[in-house]
Amino acid sequence: MLDLTTVDAGYGETQVLYGISLTARQGRVLAILGRNGAGKSTTLKTIMGLLPPRAGAISFEGSPMPKRPFDIARAGIAYVPETRDIFPSLTVRENLEIAARRFAAKGGEWTLDRVIDLFPRLGERMDNGGTQLSGGEQQMLAIARALLMNPRLLILDEPTEGLAPIIVKLIHQKLMALKQGGLSMVLVEQNFGFAASLADDVAVVGKGQVVWTGTPEAIRADEAAQHRWLGV
């Protein structure tokens, strides 16, 4: 449903991505793995229109990807960035309501009630400000907000970064439930076990290029690739 074909991108004078080709399939989870600085977040920012591709092509559901982030979101892609980007001065409720209103006309299965069923903790924190939330609660809010856009594809950049093991486990359960519900996802992770257990397809990025693709079973069995590209 999402295809990148030989995409180059970078920041100013610096080229970071060199001919990235990737495919995310409908109803499946694609994990993008790679070391620090490999170009994983840059790949996601390029997909989301935050960085323009300098070469190559990106398509979504068979059409060229719109250029502006707003239009990309409206096309059905929700993005949870590394920084989570919740509004710190607004309450949990306000953060959620903004997201719910954004594409309200579109309708869809995800409502305020349903995201609170998924993350009951957020229901208890509705009137707390964004800055009063723990890292785990912020991540739950960021995911809940993305779901309220009723996306056809959910893109997550290192959802477990900096979280305690018990919260990582909880986020894992929730993402597994979303996968079982049929949601298509692209998941960038440093946590190899977390990603491998959720993914259907794996792509490894190294130095701005796709250096390995295959199944989670194949990357688990390929210790040389893990060592070389993931530092596992």
Ligand X SMILES: Nc1ncnc2c1ncn2[C@@H]1O[C@H](COP(=O)(O)OP(=O)(O)OP(=O)(O)O)[C@@H](O)[C@H]1O
Residues at the site binding Mg ion, with contacts judged by CB under 5 A:
40-41
Q: Is 11 in the site for ligand X (CB under 6 A)?
A: yes
Residues 28-47 vs ligand X: string with x where CB under 6 A? ------x-xxxxxxx-----
Rounded Cα gap, residues 195 and 33, in angstroms: 8
Site size toward ligand X (CB under 6 A) is: 12
Lookup: tokens for 121: 């903790």
Per the CB < 8 A criterion, the answer to whether 48 and 4 are in contact is no
Distance (Å, whole) CA 89 – CA 122: 16
For residue 39, the partner it binds in ligand X, Mg ion, none, with Cβ less than 5 to 8 A by kind, is: ligand X
Interface pattern 186-215 for ligand X (x via CB under 6 A): ----x-------------------------
For residue 120, give the H/E element and its range. helix 120-124
Report the nearest approach of ligand X to the CB of residue 5 (Å): 19
145 touching ligand X, by CB under 6 A: no
CB of 217 to ligand X, least distance (A): 24
* Interaction of residue 70 with ligand X, rule CB under 6 A: no
Q: List, in order, residues 6 or more apart from 213 with CB less than 8 Å away.
A: 201, 202, 203, 204
Helices and strands (H, E) in the chain, number of each type: 10, 10
Tell me which residues touch ligand X (CB under 6 A).
11, 14, 16, 34, 36-42, 190
